[in-house]
Amino acid sequence: MNIPASLVEATISGAHTMRVEARVVPAGQTGDDPDGIEIPVLGGDVLLDATADIHGTLQLETEGGKWWPSRVSDPLAPYGRWELFVRRGIDIGNETVWGAGGYFRLDELEQAEATKGPIMIAAPDRMAAIIDARFLSPRQLQAGRTVGQVVRELVEEVYPTAEVVFDDATEFATLARSVVVEESRFEALKEIVTSAGKIWHWDGQGRLQIRSAPDPDRPLWHVRAGAGGVLVEAGRRISRQGVYNAVVARGEGADLAEPVQAVAVDDGPDSPTRWAAVGDGGFGFVPRFYSSPMIYTEQQAYAAAESMLRRNLGLPYTVDYSQVPNPLLRPWDPIRVTHDDGTRELHVAQQVTVPLGAETAMQVATQEQSRVLIRRL
């Protein structure tokens, strides 16, 4: 169901019906309506974080009593047979539009008041299993295979029924040379994704998405303060810590006849992080270096450099705000923020905390974006 953003915003700015569902489901399913056992939701939240290796983390409070697992086969037993499926939605017209949530691995259960007190559940998304599943011996990724074949093989060894979704023809690109990976399955996959200039995460339907980040110049959402708006309160800060204005991307490997390298810099004349000397009105020279065995052409190096730089550029200025929950808002989404004094700013969401209770506001951490010009050196 494709719902215009303006309709979602209009709905959440007024009186509306919120819905939350949590189910214990047999592990490995996909889709937005999996088979499982519904459990009560007393509270909790879903943290979605674009800056973390594990994109989604669930904290859920449910009833005690019969739900505490006593056997390996019991629902909520954290031994791999079961996952938690959680989603939050809103009613629009005669339909429920479901958003934030997904599939989460049962990691930790705690009951402060045995045996009838509430159970607190901590559950990361499916990336946790990818991180855990290290290789027992070095693995060679063979030249000539496509990116899609390699990614699906590494993922399906952990999740045999996994769906991997690419947003363009990146999956059909071939590895130009063989690469040996020592231990980390996660780092091998991350290298493939990053070197292609993509982002990746498990989505709300349990699919691994490998895609380009949304264009930061085209806001998907408008968050307003005041009458008719959804902005509850906002705080802000400015810091140049962690900000860079150039990326040097390099290929690595003994079989490269010549080193492969590309450099992308912020060349926007009005950009606050412009690549220029401080005395000349620039931000200074703050490069980030990235190297990967998956880069073996200058074109690949530049694609990686530009993608990494574009996701970092903008003012070293962040806004943390709370709003009426929008279950469709995601990290990487561009947002137009209008403050109570009428000031308008373009931001990109970095962290989104979606509450599972009706009375709690959504927390969003953003970084302001500025229109920039990236130059290739």
DSSP string, 204-243: TTS-EEEEPPPPTTS-SEEEE-STT--EEEEEEEE--TT-
| 325 pLDDT above the threshold of 90 | no
**pLDDT per residue as tens digits for the range 285-317:** 999 999 888 888 888 899 889 888 887 776 667
ω before 353 within 30° of 0 (cis)? no
H or E segment to which residue 368 belongs:
strand 362-368
Section 152-166 average pLDDT: 96
Q: Which amino acid is at 129?
A: A
| 50 pLDDT above the threshold of 70 | yes
H or E segment to which residue 195 belongs:
helix 185-195
Nearest to 377 by CA among 202, 253, 245, 193: 245
Which tokens sit at 224?
Answer: 């307003």
pTM of the predicted model as reported, rounded to 2 decimal places: 0.88
**pLDDT per residue as tens digits for the range 189-231:** 999 998 888 999 999 999 999 999 888 778 888 888 877 677 8
For every residue of 80-132, DSSP letters joined together read: SSEEEEEEEEEEETTEEEEEEEEEEE--EEE-SSTTTS-EEEEEEBTHHHHHH
Return the pLDDT at 61.
96
Which tokens sit at 221?
Answer: 């959402």
- Residues whose CB is less than 8 angstroms from the CB of residue 237 and which lie 6 or more positions away in sequence, other chains included: 317, 318, 320
Return the pLDDT at 128.
98
Q: What is the overall mean pLDDT for the chain?
A: 88
Section 16-39 average pLDDT: 92
Class of domain 133-211: alpha beta
Nearest to 12 by CA among 96, 90, 112, 83: 90
**Cβ atoms 103, 202 nearer than 8 A:** yes
CATH 3.55.50.10 in the chain, residue ranges? 133-211
Residue 153: pLDDT band (50, 70, 90) is very high
How many angstroms separate the CA atoms of 212 and 322, rounded? Answer: 27
**pLDDT per residue as tens digits for the range 76-108:** 999 999 999 999 988 888 888 888 789 999 999
Return the pLDDT at 315.
67
